[in-house]
Structure 1
Amino acid sequence: MDKKLTLSLDERVIEKAKVYAKQHQVSLSRLIEAYLSALIDNKPKDIEITPLVKSLSGVVEIPDGFDHRSEYADYLMEKYR
């Protein structure tokens, strides 16, 4: 059973949402309903691990205290030097 809901949103957001809904041939109400449903029904999906990924598991050892952000920053600095 559908029920009415009143929302207060930024006018620009409403206008952009209307354009998006029209481009995708869906009503703004259905668009918002689908979004809210996706938020509340967000169940973790079972992810199948392929044999290739299983075979690679444990191949690389990462030392304790490894700072991936620092390493990546160093990599980028070297790459774009």
Structure 2
Amino acid sequence: MNTKLTLKLDGHVIDRAKKYARSHRISLSRMIETYLDSVTKPYPKTEKPLITPLVESLSGVMDLPADFDYKKEYRDFLEEKYK
């Protein structure tokens, strides 16, 4: 179902968008619809986050105690940095 939408935008932005749409052979309406669809579409959360090969290669390089306090270490670092 198509519904009309009226927007108020800067004239220069509209001109650039029209040129872009024309050069890519799509309508301005289709371009805006595609953009709005992509930014509002809910994406399912994956159970396991994607880990890049670089991060995977760094895994296990350091061993930290189970009770390591990241917040305390960061706070100490900032206190030392901004003395």
TM-score by length of 2: 0.60
Among 54, 59, 62, which residue is 2:61 paired with?
Answer: 59
- Which is greater in Rg? 2
Provide runs of 4+ in structure 1 moved above 6 Å. none
TM-score (norm 1): 0.62
Unaligned runs of 5+ in 2: 64-69
Aligned residues: 68
Question: Equivalents in 1 of 2:17, 2:26: separation in Å?
Answer: 11
Tell me which residue corresponds to 1:28. Answer: 28
Show the 5 A alignment for 1:1-81: 1-43=1-43, 46=46, 48-49=50-51, 53-60=55-62, 64-65=73-74
The aligned residue for residue 67 of structure 2 is none
Structure 1: unaligned runs, 5 residues or longer: 71-81
Q: Pairwise CA RMSD of aligned residues? A: 3.1
